Amino acid sequence: MSAYPETMLAAVYRDGDLEVKRMPRPKPGRGEALLKIEAAALCATDIKIWQKGHRNINEGTEAILGHEVVGRVVQTGEGIDENLLGMRVVVPPNVGCGFCPACLRGWDSYCPAYKAYGVGLNGGLAEYMLLTSASISRGGLVEIPEHIPTKIAALAEPVSCCYRGLKDCELKAGETVLIAGTGPMGILAIMTARVMGAAKIIAADPVEGRREISKAFRADHVLDPARDSFKEELFALTGGWGIDVVMVTAPFSGAQLQGIDAAAIGGRINLFAGLAAGDTLNNFPSNLVHYRGLKVTGTTGTTPREMRLVVSLMAGNRLDQLRDAVTAVFPLMEAKKAFEEAKQGSGLKILLVPDGGAAV
């Protein structure tokens, strides 16, 4: 055990502030394991917590954020299979109670009592992260092959959230997809939809720079949803039929309404983004849903199974362009700079790497 240092570096959040400092390295107890972090990607959730706090993180308490991680099991507690030692893994962040109806469906991210790495449980913006026994027994170690580059591996969690949303929409090979909102998640959704068989992907975003980025990530068409002619242009691109699967990644009720309005007969719409406080979809177009036979769904988070499938796609080189979605890599020491850059929102995914990122 003495092979491991007694302390570790961590980016510690407390009351709206972020400080990189040394703290005791966690030691795995019974049923637990220790993960050496290879990289952690920043998510909008991390930035939101940094700026506004979170109900699961009490005032005055220190917390390590970061839930999009790849790492290696370097130490196991009593009762853990030693074969796990040395395994490279990605980790589904939400850990449910294990016995409520949501957990019995494998939907840990919907468990009313869930705990999550980076949101209450200490997360991956550190040199090491403690894997809880609940997390391990809920399928929380998803093995990831060595040949998958760090930049791609670190995105297994957010990509599997996109995968889940599109799967929930029963996307079939050959269908058309609209991604409404092309921030980082929208860009990941474009790549995910393509690998899941979308024949035509249309990306919509009012920001020109983002439309340009969507093109670089091989959206087949890009549209400005702020134009009066948006719906006309959209339907023209689909022979007047409309869109089979719409994923709304923009956190605005207006985008949700446009998304539902864009759907073809039998279309499925995924409300992927939550709305900000105070924003709500008034005048829900129920007659569109009724007369076009639409299905409006919502998903949040992912499951171990979906992460496993996404890792298989990565292993089969089906998601290689993900590498380009990582627009900056910072050493852990510069966590604050990374958060500032993520807040600006000019890039896509940002990685924090404990070793300084030499190999990334």
Which positions touch Zn ion (CB under 5 A)? 43, 96-97, 100, 103, 111
Cβ–Cβ < 8 Å for 284, 261: no
Give burial (CB, 10 Å; 0-12/13-18/19+) of 344. exposed
| Shortest reach from residue 314's CB to Zn ion, in Å | 17
Would you say 222 or 311 has its CB closer to Zn ion?
311
| Shortest reach from residue 342's CB to Zn ion, in Å | 12
Cβ–Cβ < 8 Å for 257, 281: yes
Strands (DSSP E) contained in the chain are 7-14, 17-24, 33-41, 63-64, 68-76, 88-90, 94-95, 115-117, 120-121, 128-131, 142-143, 176-180, 200-204, 221-223, 243-248, 263-271, 295-298, 326-331, 349-353
Burial 112-137 (b: 16+ CB within 10 A, else e): eebbbbbbbbbbbbbbbbbbbbbbbe
Would you say 116 or 131 has its CB closer to Zn ion?
116
- Structure letter (DSSP) for residue 55: T
| Shortest reach from residue 30's CB to Zn ion, in Å | 22
| Shortest reach from residue 67's CB to Zn ion, in Å | 6
Would you say 100 or 275 has its CB closer to Zn ion?
100
Question: Measured between alpha carbons, how far is 202 from 250 in angstroms, rounded to an integer?
Answer: 14
Would you say 103 or 180 has its CB closer to Zn ion?
103
Question: Measured between alpha carbons, how far is 90 from 142 in angstroms, rounded to an integer?
Answer: 5
Would you say 42 or 80 has its CB closer to Zn ion?
42
Alpha carbon separation from 134 to 35, 138, 340 (Å, rounded): 15, 6, 33
Q: State both tokens at 104.
A: 């019995």
| Shortest reach from residue 111's CB to Zn ion, in Å | 3
Would you say 48 or 227 has its CB closer to Zn ion?
48
Would you say 154 or 204 has its CB closer to Zn ion?
154
Would you say 142 or 202 has its CB closer to Zn ion?
142
| Shortest reach from residue 233's CB to Zn ion, in Å | 32
Stated as kind and residue range, the H or E segment containing 166 is helix 156-168
Strands (DSSP E) contained in 110-223 are 115-117, 120-121, 128-131, 142-143, 176-180, 200-204, 221-223
Cβ–Cβ < 8 Å for 353, 360: yes
Would you say 8 or 111 has its CB closer to Zn ion?
111
| Shortest reach from residue 154's CB to Zn ion, in Å | 11
Residue type, 17: D
| Shortest reach from residue 262's CB to Zn ion, in Å | 26
Question: Measured between alpha carbons, how far is 257 from 280 in angstroms, rounded to an integer?
Answer: 10
| Shortest reach from residue 27's CB to Zn ion, in Å | 27
Q: State both tokens at 26.
A: 């966690």
